Amino acid sequence: MENVSVNKSFDGWHKQYSHRSSVLNCEMRFAIYLPPQASNGEKVPVLYWLSGLTCTDENFMQKAGAQALAAELGIAIVAPDTSPRGDDVADDEGYDLGKGAGFYVNATQVPWSRHYQMYDYVVDELPKLIESMFPVSDKRSIAGHSMGGHGALVIALRNSDAYQSVSAFSPISNPINCPWGKKAFTAYLGRDTKAWSDYDASVLMRQATSFVPALVDQGDGDNFMVEQLKPEMLEAAASVSGYPLTLNIREGYDHSYYFISSYIENHLRFHAEHLKK
């Protein structure tokens, strides 16, 4: 690994690293916030944060205002990039496919399959790297925003034994039935829509038999809510399976980091409660 940057923050440390990913076949970058407890010989739990379309590892760390409370609670935060990067990595002219838009799936279609294995990267490769290189425990939770909210929910639902809790802001809740999801899944997974259901939180939650406590916040002033995000589908799925989902519709809030920073304390305290069990 190469240390790209270091910044002290609330007596902890924000660090960026690059490393060669064998899963993604390219150089990847991630950010980690290590709270002060990690410098005092304590192994701290980890919250993985997955960002949305067009984002990198920097958006959440710079805009969400999470470090102060993470320092208080003794939680590390890890933010990976949202897709593979590099000159030889396949891309698309649209913002919603290709670089910055990995959708946290394992692509099966050429040319995407050579690099776009973001599901395996987040579930397997990155946690193994983090747990081997930093003073953290194997206690994990996961959260995200928009495309990253989709990724967080899907990963927790498919790996209920690996995460203590999951949360999302404005997640793409039913991607098999929205324009963003249909475009990405057709490209990455092909036209056989049966494969798409493995990456749809509403489908997985409806079928769930093992549960990870889930918290979702959605702003009713979000321009993407009706066409792209479909929180009502997630709520309906939870009612079928009895899933422990808390879904809050927040009046007036939009899709931006103004929304995330307004409620990030709720999410961090939610995760802290479950990480300490």
Task: Give the model confidence (pLDDT) of 237-277 as tens digits.
Answer: 999 999 999 999 999 999 999 999 999 999 999 999 999 98
Show the tokens assigned to 39. 């410098």
The yes-or-no answer on residue 96 being catalytic is no
Contacts of 258 (CB under 8 A, 6+ apart): none
The residue from 146, 165, 170, 202 that is catalytic is 146
Show the tokens assigned to 90. 């396949």
DSSP single-letter state for residue 101: B
The residue from 222, 267, 271, 274 that is catalytic is 222
The Cα–Cα gap between 127 and 136 comes to 10
How confident is the model at residue 174, as a pLDDT? 98
Measured CA to CA in angstroms, residue 42 lies from 38, 45, 49, 75, 193 at distances of 5, 10, 21, 11, 46
Whether 10 contacts 36, CB under 8 Å: yes
How would you write the pLDDT of the chain (277 residues) with one tens digit per residue?
999 999 999 999 999 999 999 999 999 999 999 999 999 888 999 999 999 999 999 999 999 999 999 999 999 999 999 999 999 999 999 999 999 999 999 999 999 999 999 999 999 999 999 999 999 999 999 999 999 999 999 999 999 999 999 999 999 999 999 999 999 999 999 999 999 999 999 999 999 999 999 999 999 999 999 999 999 999 999 999 999 999 999 999 999 999 999 999 999 999 999 999 8
**Bridge partners of 18?**
2, 29
What is the reported pTM? 0.97
The residue from 255, 267, 271, 274 that is catalytic is 255
Average pLDDT, the chain: 97
Whether 37 contacts 74, CB under 8 Å: yes
Q: Tell me if residue 246 falls in helix, strand or coil.
A: strand
pLDDT tens per residue across span 120-140: 999 999 999 999 999 999 999
For the chain, how big is the Rg over CA atoms in Å?
17
CA pseudo-torsion sign 230, 231, 233, 234: positive
Candidates 173, 176, 180, 158; CA nearest to 236 is: 173
Question: Strand locations in the chain, DSSP E?
Answer: 2-9, 12-21, 26-34, 44-50, 76-80, 136-145, 166-169, 214-219, 245-250
How confident is the model at residue 277, as a pLDDT? 84
Candidates 218, 226, 154, 143; CA nearest to 184 is: 154
The yes-or-no answer on residue 222 being catalytic is yes
The Cα–Cα gap between 57 and 122 comes to 13
Other residues' Cβ atoms within 10 Å of the Cβ of residue 134: 17
Whether 98 contacts 83, CB under 8 Å: yes
How confident is the model at residue 158, as a pLDDT? 98
How confident is the model at residue 159, as a pLDDT? 98
Whether 249 contacts 225, CB under 8 Å: no
Helices and strands per DSSP (H, E), number in the chain: 9, 9
How confident is the model at residue 41, as a pLDDT? 84
The yes-or-no answer on residue 198 being catalytic is no
